């Protein structure tokens, strides 16, 4: 059976429709051995061409309204980007425009205008370090090999999950120590400026909130979590002079990175919908404040297409969330 017919059978239009939302972060000019999860612009181009040809790509705000109303088209897909990287404007936007596709960009506002996310600082430090090893045993970690790309990639792969859920201050201190010991003098300049955010909005792309500092919300007290969510939105609204109605939970794993308190906050703050990072798709009656998203990792068109169709088969529901 042709894949389009199979996808249409799994996600017909109307009340039986299913909505898929794809997540991207960066779009690279060339392959980067330390950022293998990010697509190059050439890969992103054929992926968007395939979406334009085989699926119905909607803006996320439109898709949310139509999902609630039961009027989604068959094979409905949305494209989203997290964090606010400058290459989203420089490289991704021209591809989206060439194929006539909308996307939503979820922006963490603290990193605009020269800020840097901790994971990028870590990757850049490891990539640029001299040959040898990195001893972090005095910080409760280990000694890591830095002999060639394979060792460095493995070191990045061990450090990122080890630091991800540390308290912000502790993680900041560890990353600062890594930068110093690897002799990285300044953080990488990778993020959008406010002018870049405005340019994406002026091009017809949706801007969504992603907090200010991209914290693990479950690690914050309720007042701090609410402030992160509200202030990030308010800054973006002032920046683009338009409402910001969509929210993405940082990291976004249900029950681990956010809980029922944060879902309630998103509703109370007036967002129309929120997205997480649980794989799957949304159908009639889905919680609009826990819309699933996924990243199709495949770098071959047929496998990419099969991954999209396979995601339509995922019918498991999100776990019930207890307040943290």
Domain residue spans of the chain: 3-113+191-311, 118-181
Cα angle 18, 68, 321; round to 5: 80
How far is residue 123's CA from residue 106's CA, in Å, rounded to a whole number? 22
pLDDT of residue 320: 63
DSSP state of 39: E
Distances (CA, A) of 90 to 28, 103, 104, 184, 221: 10, 14, 15, 25, 37
- As its CATH architecture, domain 3-113+191-311 has Alpha-Beta Barrel (3.20)
pLDDT of residue 316: 53
Q: Let me know: does 287 contact 318? Beta carbons within 8 Å.
A: yes
How far is residue 188's CA from residue 193's CA, in Å, rounded to a whole number? 14
How far is residue 33's CA from residue 153's CA, in Å, rounded to a whole number? 7
Q: Let me know: does 272 contact 246? Beta carbons within 8 Å.
A: yes
Residues 6+ apart with CB under 8 A from 113: 191, 193, 194
pLDDT of residue 314: 75
Rounding to the nearest 10 degrees, give the CA dihedral for residues 177, 180, 186, 192.
-30
21: buried, middle or exposed (CB in 10 Å: 19+, 13-18, 0-12)? Answer: buried
How far is residue 300's CA from residue 220's CA, in Å, rounded to a whole number? 40
Distances (CA, A) of 94 to 54, 78, 249, 302: 20, 17, 27, 24
Among 298, 294, 297, which residue's Cα sits nearest to residue 314? Answer: 294
317 SS3 class: coil
- Ranges of residues in the chain whose predicted pLDDT is under 70: 1-2, 5-8, 315-324
List 300's β-bridge partners, or say none: none
Predicted TM-score (pTM) of this structure: 0.94
107: number of Cβ within 10 Å: 33
Rounding to the nearest 10 degrees, give the CA dihedral for residues 61, 63, 66, 67.
-120
List 200's β-bridge partners, or say none: none
Among 243, 173, 177, which residue's Cα sits nearest to residue 207? Answer: 243
């Amino acid at each position: 059976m042709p894949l389009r017919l199979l996808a249409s059978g799994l996600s017909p239009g109307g009340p039986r429709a299913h909505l898929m939302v794809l997540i991207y972060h960066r779009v690279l000019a060339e392959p980067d051995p330390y950022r293998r999860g990010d697509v190059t612009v050439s890969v992103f181009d054929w992926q968007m061409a395939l979406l334009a040809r085989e699926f119905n790509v909607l803006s996320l705000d439109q898709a949310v309204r139509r999902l609630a109303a039961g009027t989604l088209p068959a094979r409905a897909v949305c494209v989203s980007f997290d964090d606010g990287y400058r290459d989203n404007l420089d490289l991704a936007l021209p591809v989206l425009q060439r194929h006539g596709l909308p996307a939503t960009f979820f922006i963490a506002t603290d990193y605009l205008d020269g800020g840097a996310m901790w994971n990028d600082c870590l990757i850049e430090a490891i990539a640029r370090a001299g040959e040898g090893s990195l001893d972090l045993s005095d910080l409760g970690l280990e000694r890591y090999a830095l002999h060639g790309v394979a060792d460095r990639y493995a070191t990045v792969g061990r450090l990122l999950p080890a630091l991800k859920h540390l308290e912000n201050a502790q993680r900041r201190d560890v990353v600062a120590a890594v930068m110093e010991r690897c002799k990285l003098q300044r953080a990488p300049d990778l993020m959008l400026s406010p002018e870049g955010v405005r340019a994406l909005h002026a091009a017809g792309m949706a801007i969504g909130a992603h907090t200010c500092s991209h914290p693990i919300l479950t690690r914050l007290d309720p007042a701090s979590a609410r402030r992160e969510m509200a202030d990030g939105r308010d800054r973006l609204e002032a920046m683009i002079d338009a409402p910001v109605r969509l929210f993405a939970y940082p990291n976004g794993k249900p029950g681990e990175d956010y809980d029922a308190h944060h879902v309630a906050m998103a509703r109370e703050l007036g967002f129309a919908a929120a997205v997480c990072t649980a794989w799957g798709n949304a159908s009639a009656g889905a919680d609009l404040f826990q819309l699933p998203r996924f990243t199709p990792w495949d770098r071959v068109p047929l496998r990419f297409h099969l991954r999209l169709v396979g995601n339509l088969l995922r019918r498991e529901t999100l776990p019930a969330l207890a307040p943290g």
